[in-house]
Structures are given as C-alpha cells and as structure tokens.
C-alpha cells in the first residue's frame, strides 16, 4: 500500500489556500472562501466559485472566510474546505488517504494547532503534521536553513505577518502579528468611506491595494477610478484615488508590520544580526508584493530587504520540499503529530 501513498503539502492561508503534490508542484491555488446556504446549513461553493459570490449573495447565502488571522475561525467549514481541496488535488487518487503537512503561523497556540490537525484528519488525511510558516517560507525561498548563518524571513500573508530569524535549522527569534493584507484592505475601505463618503466592497479594496497602493510615497502617482455606493444618497457613484492617498491610508498598518521586524531584530544575537546585515531580509507571502515594500523595510530598519522569487508560493513550495525530504527536515519542522 505504501506504493500508492500520497503526500500533500497545504499552505492553509487566511486569503488563499495552496496545495503542493510532490513530483507535480503546486496543483491548486484558490481563495480560502466558502459559500454556505443559511436555510439548510449546506456548503454551496468553495474557492474561486465562492469568492465570486462575495458581496453579491442574497440573504439566504453567506460567502465568508473560515480562517481568520491565520487560524481556524469556523471549524466545520474549514474541515469541509480542506476536504474539497484535498479531493481536488488528489484527483483519481482520492480514495487514498494522504499524509498532510500544513503550514501554521509562528505564534499559534497549542489549541489552535490541535484544531488544524483535527480538521485535516477529519477531512480525510491519514496523518497530519503542522509546521511553522517562516521555516517553510525559508525552505521555499531556497534558503539553506541548516547553515550556521542567520537568515531573517518576513512572511506577510492575508491574516498574519510572521517574522523569524533562522539558524541551524531552528527559529532563534520570532514574532507573529495579526496585521497583514486583510487589515490593509480594511484600512483602504475606511479611508474611502471617510474621504469620499463611498461604500466599497472587499474585492474593490483588494483591487486598489494591488493596482494603486505603495508602501512609500511616490513622485509618479497612479490613479484609479473606483465605483461604490454613496452613503448619503444610497446611489452608485465613482471617485478617483491616487497612490499617495492610499499610502497614507495604510501607514498605521505598515508601522505595525515594521515594528514586528524591529522587535525580532532587537532580540537577535549579535553574531546572527551581523549575518542579517550582510545578507539582508528575505520577504515572502502575497502582501510582501506591495509596491516598494522592501524599500520601506530598508528605510525603517537600515537593513536591506529583497523579495523572494514567487513570494506568494514560497510557503507552499516549502511544504513540498519538506515532504520530499521529510527525514532531513523532520527535526526543524514538525511541531506535533496526531
């Protein structure tokens, strides 16, 4: 039976879920969204199909994210979402129970960790392991984590910003703050409400963040026409936003993320700190792709920062790499086996 055993690496994120199958790579990248019918409590859609429904559903259907700040907020729905993604990733092998490795934020509690393991087992996993995101992000970014050299990884996703200094296969100093991409979206929504008296949806806020936002003010501003509902008249209306307006709107959230980086740098032993100065900070995760983010990190900390290759895929790639060389990474990775 070992011949048919399948392994899956899952980056279970607040915003997106990615599934990695050893030998095939990342086979699935879909939003962590589920649409539920209120009347009979039935799950109607998961992933892309459910995300398309956000903000557009009748009262009887709710499209929402069962993960909040990197941890499970709704256990039953998360389990159903995991089952859907695992079955979809395994395809014709779906009768085989896979061994699953799931990424979790560095600051996760033992109760939250147990919830992830139990959800995976109930969703059909044979064995479930969890591993901390910064280590997986480092492996996925191609960092040799077993060297006696200090590496600093900043993984900024949808729900959490995880910062860690890694040396000799372990985390030397780390922190995790519940401020990341989703908080930026909320700040943009609040700004548009205050400045233009306009109500916009989550998807519009996300579009503004991707197309217009910058971590530092720019000379060459991008403008974008946004559509929403006027708070006073209740009628549809358009307004125009610019890069520097959005830059000011998200400043408070960016400060929280930068403070997390500074806190970890202050905890880092001097020898490792000098390695980080030499080799810089590696940034991973979807939100690290915000325009000029590495530049902001450099300005605030004095340490060079660079984006990893394909930052959004690093954690998922790390789960895959760890699964393929499980014996090698076991000591550094696995927090708990059920």
Residue 282 assigned ligand-binding role: no
Question: No. of H helices and E strands in the chain?
Answer: 12, 19
CA–centroid distance for 134 within its chain: 11
In the DSSP assignment, the letter for residue 98 is P
Residue 206 assigned ligand-binding role: yes
Residue 209 assigned ligand-binding role: yes
Residue 158 assigned ligand-binding role: yes
Residue 318 assigned ligand-binding role: no
Residue 39 assigned ligand-binding role: no
CB 130 within 8 A of CB 118: no
In the DSSP assignment, the letter for residue 227 is E
Residue 92 assigned ligand-binding role: no
CA distances from 275 to 106, 150, 265 (A): 22, 5, 12
CB 212 within 8 A of CB 154: no
User: Based on the number of CB atoms within 10 Å of its own CB, is 110 exposed (0-12), middle (13-18) or buried (19 or more)?
Assistant: exposed
Residue 256 assigned ligand-binding role: no
CB 291 within 8 A of CB 250: no
User: Based on the number of CB atoms within 10 Å of its own CB, is 89 exposed (0-12), middle (13-18) or buried (19 or more)?
Assistant: buried
Residues annotated within the binding site are: 14-16, 158-160, 206-209
Residues annotated within the binding site for ATP are: 14-16, 158-160, 206-209
């Amino acid at each position: 039976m070992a011949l048919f055993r399948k392994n899956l690496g899952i980056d279970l994120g607040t915003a997106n879920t990615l599934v990695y199958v050893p030998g095939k790579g990342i086979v699935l990248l879909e939003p962590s969204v589920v649409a539920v019918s209120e009347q009979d409590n039935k799950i109607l859609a998961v992933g892309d199909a459910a995300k398309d429904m956000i903000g557009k559903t009748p009262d009887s259907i709710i499209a929402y994210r069962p993960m909040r700040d990197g941890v499970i907020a709704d256990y039953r729905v998360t389990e159903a979402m995991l089952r859907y993604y695992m079955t979809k990733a395994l395809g014709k092998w779906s009768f085989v129970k896979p061994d699953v490795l799931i990424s979790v934020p560095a600051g996760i509690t033992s109760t939250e960790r147990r919830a992830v393991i139990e959800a995976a087992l109930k969703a059909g996993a044979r064995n479930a392991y969890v591993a901390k995101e910064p280590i997986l992000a480092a492996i996925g970014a191609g960092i040799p984590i077993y060297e006696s050299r200090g590496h600093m990884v900043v993984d900024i996703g949808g729900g959490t910003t995880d910062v860690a200094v890694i040396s000799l296969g372990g985390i030397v100093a780390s922190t995790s703050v519940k401020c990341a991409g989703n908080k930026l979206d909320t700040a943009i929504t609040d700004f548009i409400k205050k400045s233009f008296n306009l109500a916009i949806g989550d998807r519009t806020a996300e579009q503004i963040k991707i197309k217009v936002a910058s971590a530092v003010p720019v000379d060459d501003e991008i403008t974008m026409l946004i559509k929403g509902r006027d708070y006073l008249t209740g009628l549809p209306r358009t307004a125009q936003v610019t890069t520097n307006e959005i830059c000011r709107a998200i400043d408070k959230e960016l400060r929280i993320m930068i403070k997390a980086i500074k806190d970890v740098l202050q905890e880092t032993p001097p020898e490792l700190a000098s390695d980080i100065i030499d080799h810089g900070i590696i940034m991973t995760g979807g939100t690290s792709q915000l325009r000029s983010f590495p530049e902001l990190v450099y300005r605030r900390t004095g340490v060079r920062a660079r984006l990893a290759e394909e930052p959004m895929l690093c954690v998922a790639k790390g789960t895959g790499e760890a699964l393929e060389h499980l014996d090698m990474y076991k000591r550094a990775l696995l927090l708990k086996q059920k």
